[in-house]
Structure 1
Amino acid sequence: MKLPSMGVYGYLSPDEFIPIAEESNLILSIGEWVITQAFTQKKQWDSNGKKDVKMAINISARQFQYIDFLPFLQQEVIRLQVNTAKIELEITESIMQNIELAKGELDNIKRLGFQISIDDFGKGYSSLSYLRSLPIDTIKIDKTFIDDISHPRHKGSLAKVIIDMGHNMNFIVIAEGVETKDQIDFLKDNQCDIVQGYFYSKALTPTELERLYL
């Protein structure tokens, strides 16, 4: 049977393929491939004099809980001689369901020099006491709270609470899924540190990113 080429489907959003990859455990091999490719790209940018470029890599909950995750991460850091200081690993908030495991793994990741962010923050697993005990640098406000900025009744009240709480705990706060000028204005007024989303750019390939920004 002849398999269809990649061109048949084009690019797929993470929402389309990650749930299937996690159910089938393909997320483990995909995750390792992504880490290797990302480290290789970062090493290339560093070699070309672009050492200030900061890279973030998404790590799924299934991948994070995999027994070989940390050894693989350490192996690739050593093999590729990558500078981890400018690499942030984005860990989904659901890891807090097992806080003891999470703290041990995050401590080990931190020892390798990575920065750590909690992705999709506010979806229901977080606890302030847990956050204080974890070696994290950044929290990323889930897109649902950013969409809430335009709600006529809520007016971004939850996003503001998360920003204030994050700053009180000395975290960098990032808003994800930002798409409108009203959202940008709200986030600026409330001192959100960093924003990302289609308001500024769609997802880009390394070549497109270099051409436009580097």
Structure 2
Amino acid sequence: MNTTNALDAAPKSIDASTLKAWEDNHDDLMIIDVRSGAEFDAMHINGSYHVPLAMLSEHTEEFAAKMGTRVVLVCQSGNRAEQARKHLDAVGLASASVLSGGVPAYEAAGGNVVRGRGAWALERQVRMTAGSLVLAGVLGSKFISPKLGLIAGGIGAGLTFSAATNSCAMGQMLSKMPWNRSANEPTAHQALKNLDARA
């Protein structure tokens, strides 16, 4: 792993215009997309490497050793990328930055993206699932049994915990669902090999 004092002080978050400027001026730039396979297939930044968050979390040291000195982590909004940044920082890679606003912000700024088949972003799936469960719990408590209101309470408690810890168990569970998988989703070995090819 190659770090320098200048890049140890890299900003924790950058905006899309900064990333575009870095693309034009830095050959050492490495963009790591930590979203699900379906999200990556739907749209990703041209030239980015796909390393899903769960994979990066499980093999943090191995991935950190393959990353360059100027790393930008991207996801849909910035939340998962920030989790990835913290994992990398914990093993000594302090030069990673997070793209604020994620891939959609980069596209809106006129960035070069690759589009594929459409898929809902994981954050949207979480909102739909949580909202549906809360609605079902409230309606069920009114028309079937008051005990079904506990579903809404449980989801509310889960969302509160998720916000407090900046994690999302529901998102992690949904990311493993078949519709969020991609036929092209890399194994850890393949993703590491792809980073090797860049170096």
Name the TM-score, length of structure 1 as normaliser: 0.25
Question: Which one has more relative contact order, counting CA pairs under 8 Å at least 6 apart?
Answer: 2
TM superposition score normalised by structure 2: 0.26
